Structure formats: C-alpha cells, structure tokens
Structure 1
C-alpha cells in the first residue's frame, strides 16, 4: 500500500513539474536578445529590397505601349500591399513612398519612353547597387567623359535589347555598397 501511495505521489509530482515547465517554456516575454531583434529588422529590410527589385523587374517587362500612367496601374496594384507606391501627378508627394513617374521622351538617344522611380528613404537605406547587379546583371562599362564630380554619375544596366536601367546613387567608396536613390527604366523599342 505504501508503495502504491509513493508511486502515485511521484507520478503527480512529475506531472505537475512537467506542466510547470511546459507553461513557462511557452512564455516568450522580453527575453529576446537584441541580436534577434536586429535579425528580424534585417529580414524585413531584405524583404522590402526584394519586393522593390521584383517591382522593378515587373515594370521592365511591360511593353512600350504600357509605359504610361494607365499601363502601370495593374503592376502598382499587385505590389500595393508590399510597397508604398504613389504615381506622380504634378504635386509634391511625401518622402515615405516610392514616387513613380512615367514619361515619353521621343527620339532622344533612341529612347522612346521611361519610368522614373524615386526611391523612398526607408528603402534607400537598404537598397544598393550590388542588389541590382545580383538581380539584373552587370553594369554597362562606360568611359567617363568628365573628371571627378561631387555627385557620382548614374550607372546603367542593360536588361535586354529593348530595356535598360539607369541607377542614381549616393556617393560611396565601393560602388556595390552605394545606396540607390532613383531608378529609371528606359525603353528603346
């Protein structure tokens, strides 16, 4: 009889201990380390960068006939929940959104139409030239026609025979680490 009471008490003790451990193990509380929080923020920035690159790629695939305000509406709707996008309509727009400005050029430098994307400051902080070269390919090499300038000249990436990207960026010693401030998608045909 004593043996049975001892085994029941031992069984209750282990069950009670297991329940307590299980309850406290489920609590996340404020014990998250700063490194884990930074990792979460970096993952969020990375996803914003990836979304912006995907948005840019979707715009590069548009035909020349769709390079206007009406043509980019469906692309903007597809990315509206992922990126802060605003179409430029002649008035100032806040710095917290990507400003999209499609325009027709005509026959200047054989460029028919273009879309200018002014990158929001929150995205610029994580968007680099290196991200674009990994996603779209190498930068078109050109000989500089003028000497050093305070603001670096834009670089160009050829996407295909009809499309190119022109990237404006902040000054940085390493080109791959320079932050992109504006992207122009140029259509030749």
Structure 2
C-alpha cells in the first residue's frame, strides 16, 4: 500500500511537471506568433495613416485663399505637419533623402491665361506604394484626363482634379496597374487665379 502511494505521488508530480512545461511552451509560442502576426498590419497601418495625413495636408493647402497661396504660408503649414510627415522644401544645394516628400513652390511670371503659381510634391516610394489615384478621387473629386500633345506615350499622362474655381490638382502616377489603383509619384497644386 505504501508503495502504491509513492507511485501515485510520483505519477502526480510527473503529470504536473508535463502539464506545466506544456503550458509554458504553448504560452511562449503564442506570444511569439502573436508578435509576428501583428508586425505587418502595424506597418501597413502607419503607412495608411501617413497617406491620410498627407491628403488632409493637401486639403488645407487647396483651401488657402488666393492672397495666402504663397511660399511663406506653405512653410507655415509645413511646420504644423512636420512631426507627422517628412516634408522638405527643395534646395538645389542640398542632397535630399529618398524618404522625404520633396516640395517645390514656384510662380509663373508669364502673362496670359496660365497658372499663376503652384506647389509640386515629389513622393517617396514608401508613400507612393500606399497612396493611389482612387484615394485622391474619393477625397477631392473626379479626374479629367490630360490630352496628349503628340502620339502615344509610354508613361501615362497625368490626370487633373478641378478642386475649386481657382485650384487644380495634377497627379502623375505609375504605369504598372489600372489608373485608379496606380501609385501616385507626383502631385501638383495650381493656383489659376480665375
């Protein structure tokens, strides 16, 4: 009888040890696999939220009154978004990072019915991959295709979005998928001053 009690205690300790070690190994694997599963969605979420912030930033620029559609106001708005977007004003004397949104403000000094001023945004690859033409059409409205001046070109022609009576947006995009799903490589906002 004493022998059977010892055997039961030994059996109890063995089963408890096996259960405990199984629990620890399952718990450790679960935590590791949980981290692996959530790593990619977080990165995608960061990219998509940055794309949404960029659209909000553009919306603020598009809604500027004619009197404040200038480089000084652009720099002021850039400071507001500096912690959220990698915005850098173009400077020919400095080398730019490929991760920055490169911004160039320009004015047109020609007379006639042309745009008065504009802002050009060269997109980094990371933002191009998460921001497509359909994102702009959902946010700003329908696109109008640009008419070719010469025959067929290999690169698709930019599309335009008439945002208001005096603002227009031009989107240049990749040629690897349908137009609506193509990644945007360059955005221009024109102040036509009509």
TM-score, L = length of structure 1? 0.78
Residue 71 of structure 1 deviates from its aligned partner by 1.7
Larger % of helix: which?
A: 2
Residue 146 of structure 1 deviates from its aligned partner by 3.5
TM-score, L = length of structure 2? 0.76
Q: Distance in 1 between matches of 2:179 and 2:58?
A: 20
Name the counterpart of 1:131: 135
Change in CA separation of 1:108 and 1:42 when aligned onto 2, cut-off 3 Å: farther
Residue 150 of structure 1 deviates from its aligned partner by 1.2
Alpha-carbon RMSD across the aligned residues, in angstroms, is 2.4
Name the counterpart of 2:53: 51
Change in CA separation of 1:154 and 1:38 when aligned onto 2, cut-off 3 Å: same
Residue 109 of structure 1 deviates from its aligned partner by 4.3
Name the counterpart of 1:98: 101
Name the counterpart of 1:14: none
Deviates more, 1:42-51 or 1:137-146: 137-146
Change in CA separation of 1:109 and 1:33 when aligned onto 2, cut-off 3 Å: farther
Runs (5+) with no aligned partner, structure 2: 1-22
Residue 67 of structure 1 deviates from its aligned partner by 3.1
Name the counterpart of 2:73: 71
Change in CA separation of 1:99 and 1:35 when aligned onto 2, cut-off 3 Å: same
1:61-97 Cα distance to aligned partner (Å, 9 max, x none): 1223333331212211111111000011223322110
Residue 43 of structure 1 deviates from its aligned partner by 1.3
Maintained 8 Å contact 2:146/2:160:
no
Change in CA separation of 1:158 and 1:109 when aligned onto 2, cut-off 3 Å: same
Runs (5+) with no aligned partner, structure 1: 1-20
Name the counterpart of 1:17: none
Q: Report SS of the residue matched to 2:34.
A: coil
Alignment of 1:38-187 (within 5 A): 38-91=40-93, 92-106=95-109, 107=111, 109-187=113-191
Residue 110 of structure 1 deviates from its aligned partner by 2.4
Maintained 8 Å contact 1:67/1:102:
no
Residue 32 of structure 1 deviates from its aligned partner by 1.3
